[in-house]
Amino acid sequence: MLISVVIPVYNGARTIGPLVGRLIEALSGTALQIVLVDDGSLDASDDACRALSARYPGVVTYVKLGRNFGEHNAVMAGLWHARGEYAVVMDDDFQNPTEEVGRLVDHAIRRGYDIVYTHSPVKHHHWLRNLGSRLNDRVANFMLDKPRHLYLSSFKCLSRFLVDQILRYRGPYPYIDGLALRCTRNIGTLEVAQKIGADRYVDLLTKFGLGQKTGIGLPGESPGSVPPRSTWSGSTFANLPIGQGLSMTLVQMADMYQAIANDGLRVPPRIIKSVTKPDGTVVPTPKPDPTRVVSPQTAKTVRDMMRAVMQHDPKDYLQNGTGYPAALAGYQLSGKTGTAQQPDPALGGAYSQTKYWITFAGILPADNPRLVVGIMLDNPTYGLQAGTSAAPLFHQFGTYLVQHFQIPMSAGPAPIVQLQLP
C-alpha cells in the first residue's frame, strides 16, 4: 500500500531536508511518496526541494507554484499529485511529529475513517497562529456545521475516496476542510504529542552544559549558542532537536557523551589536575560539582541504542549501523555519527546544501565505560558521510587508546538488533 505525504512548503529551506529524511527513516519498509509544494517561498526552499527530488527519485515529487497562493491551494496542488491509497497532510517545520504518521494512517485504516484529524494537547506554534486556529475553529462551527468536539488541524490523513471527491472541486480558493466536511461525516480524531515539551527540553540543554562554557581551562573557550527561551518562535522547538538553530563546541559534545557514559551524571571537564607553586607546593584543582542530567536507566538505554550504530552484520548489510567502521574487535562500543549543515555567508547565513561538519563521538567500552572520544571534520573533501570519514578515525584512535590504557576486552560481543525490516 502506497502512502502519500503532502507538505506545503513556505520558507522552509532550513527544515524541509531534515524533515524528509526523518519521514523516510520513520516509514522505512513502507511504500512512500512525498509531495513537496513550494508555495512561493522567499528563501532557498526551491533549491532545497529540487535537491531532495534529485536525491530521492521515485519518492519525492516536487511541485513549484508561481507565487504564494496560500496553504489550502498548496495542499490542493499536492493532492493532485498524490498517488497513495491514503494521503497525509503535514506542516514543513516539524510541528507535526514524523513518528506519528504511521500511527495516523493505521488509525484511519483500522477504523475505516475517510479522514482523521490529529489533536495535540501542547502546541508549539506562535501564539498568533494558535489564535488564528481557534478563530478558524469557531467559524467552522458556525458556517460548516462542524461537530464542536472536532478540531480542524493541518496534520491529517485522508482516504483515497475523499481525496478524489475533494479534487472534483474546480472553483477558486479551495478550503480543504470545508470540502472534506461537505463530502463525508465519517471522521476520526487522534491525539498526538511531543514526548518532551519545550521547557523540559531547555532544562536538558542546560543540564548538558550547552550554551555555557565548560570551564575546562582552555583559553578562548566558546560557550556555543542556544537561543534564550524567551526569544523562541513557533518553529524554534522544531529546529533545535534536529541540531539546527544552535551550536556547540567539540568539547561540549564530548561532555554530553561523558554524561551518558557516566550513568547520567555530567562532570564538567578539566585539563589541569594541580598547580605547583614556586616553593614546590602542589595545590590540587578543586573538583567541579557533578550535575544529574538523566537517570542511570535512561543513560543505559541511550548507550544500548547507540551500540546499534556500531554493529556490523556480515549476514545482512541492511542491519549494519552507520558507524560500524569505527568498531574495535573484542570491544562493545556505543557511538553516533553526525552530519551538520554549515551556515553559508554567501546565502545570507542560510544553511549550505554543500558544506558540512562531520562528527563522530563514541563511548569505549560500552559495557564498562572508560573513555569518550569526539571527532569533528570541517567540510572534508572526501567522505561527507560520517561513517566513511570520522568513524574510521575513531577506530584508529580507539585502537591506540585501548592499548595505551590497557583496557580489558568486553566479556562478549554486543547483540545484533534488527535495524530495518526485510
- Cα separation, 256 vs 361, whole angstroms: 10
Q: Which of 46, 14, 93, 21 is nearest to 351 (CA)?
A: 14
pLDDT score for 352: 83
Q: Which residue has the cell 497562529?
A: 129
Q: Which domains, from first to last, does the chain contain?
A: 2-191 (3.90.550.10), 295-422 (3.40.710.10)
pLDDT tens profile 136-146: 555 545 455 55
Q: Residue 168 — pLDDT band, cuts 50, 70, 90? A: very high
Q: Which of 183, 118, 179, 128 is nearest to 152 (CA)?
A: 118
Question: What mean pLDDT comes out for the span 135-158?
Answer: 67
pLDDT tens profile 231-242: 887 667 767 877
Residue 43 and residue 141 in contact, taking contact as beta carbons nearer than 8 Å: no
Highest mean pLDDT among 264-273, 343-352, 376-385: 264-273
Q: What type of residue is 230?
A: S
pLDDT score for 228: 93
- 3 state DSSP class of 331: coil
Q: Are strands 31-38 and 60-64 parallel, antiparallel or unpaired?
A: parallel
- Cα separation, 318 vs 28, whole angstroms: 12
Q: Residue 128 — pLDDT band, cuts 50, 70, 90? A: very low
Q: For residue 74, which phi and psi values (nearest 5 degrees)?
A: -65, -40
Question: What mean pLDDT comes out for the span 54-63?
Answer: 95
- Cα separation, 145 vs 421, whole angstroms: 44
185's grid cell: 461525516
Q: Residue 192 — pLDDT band, cuts 50, 70, 90? A: confident
Between 93 and 129, whose confidence is greater? 93
Question: What mean pLDDT comes out for the span 371-379?
Answer: 95
Residue 410 and residue 299 in contact, taking contact as beta carbons nearer than 8 Å: no
Kindly tell me if the per-residue pLDDT of 275 is higher than 50. Answer: yes
Q: Which residue has the cell 590497557?
A: 406
pTM > 0.75: yes or no: no
pLDDT score for 78: 97
Q: Residue 35 — pLDDT band, cuts 50, 70, 90? A: very high
- Cα separation, 122 vs 107, whole angstroms: 21
Q: Which residue has the cell 561540549?
A: 252
- Cα separation, 193 vs 134, whole angstroms: 19
- Cα separation, 381 vs 355, whole angstroms: 10
Residue 369 and residue 323 in contact, taking contact as beta carbons nearer than 8 Å: no
pLDDT score for 127: 46
pLDDT score for 268: 94
pLDDT tens profile 71-112: 999 999 999 999 999 999 999 988 888 888 998 999 999 889
Cβ contacts of residue 239 below 8 Å, gap of 6+? 14, 15, 93, 94, 245
Angle at 337 between CA 336 and CA 343, to 5 degrees: 125
- Cα separation, 95 vs 192, whole angstroms: 11
Helices (H), 280-388: 296-307
Residue 263 and residue 292 in contact, taking contact as beta carbons nearer than 8 Å: no
In 10 A of CB 222, how many CB atoms? 12
pLDDT score for 385: 66
220's grid cell: 578562548
- Cα separation, 375 vs 105, whole angstroms: 40
Residue 48 and residue 56 in contact, taking contact as beta carbons nearer than 8 Å: no
pLDDT score for 321: 85
CA distances from 272 to 213, 218, 286, 293 (A): 16, 9, 10, 24
54's grid cell: 534529485
Question: What mean pLDDT comes out for the span 244-269?
Answer: 94
Q: Using only C-alpha atoms, what is the Rg of the chain?
A: 25
- Cα separation, 159 vs 3, whole angstroms: 10
Question: What mean pLDDT comes out for the span 118-144?
Answer: 56
pLDDT score for 247: 93
pLDDT tens profile 298-326: 999 999 999 989 888 888 777 888 888 99
CA distances from 2 to 30, 36, 59, 109, 160 (A): 7, 16, 11, 13, 11
- Please state, rounded to an integer, the average pLDDT across all residues of the chain: 87
Q: Which residues of 396-416 are buried (b: 16+ CB within 10 A; e: fewer)?
A: ebbeebbeeeebeebeeebeb
45's grid cell: 526552499
CA distances from 420 to 25, 104, 319 (A): 10, 21, 6
Q: pLDDT above 70 covers what percent of the chain?
A: 89
Kindly tell me if the per-residue pLDDT of 133 is higher than 60. Answer: no
DSSP E strand boundaries for 183-308? 187-191, 265-266, 274-276, 282-284, 291-292
Residue 194 and residue 211 in contact, taking contact as beta carbons nearer than 8 Å: no
Check residue 370 and report its DSSP letter. -
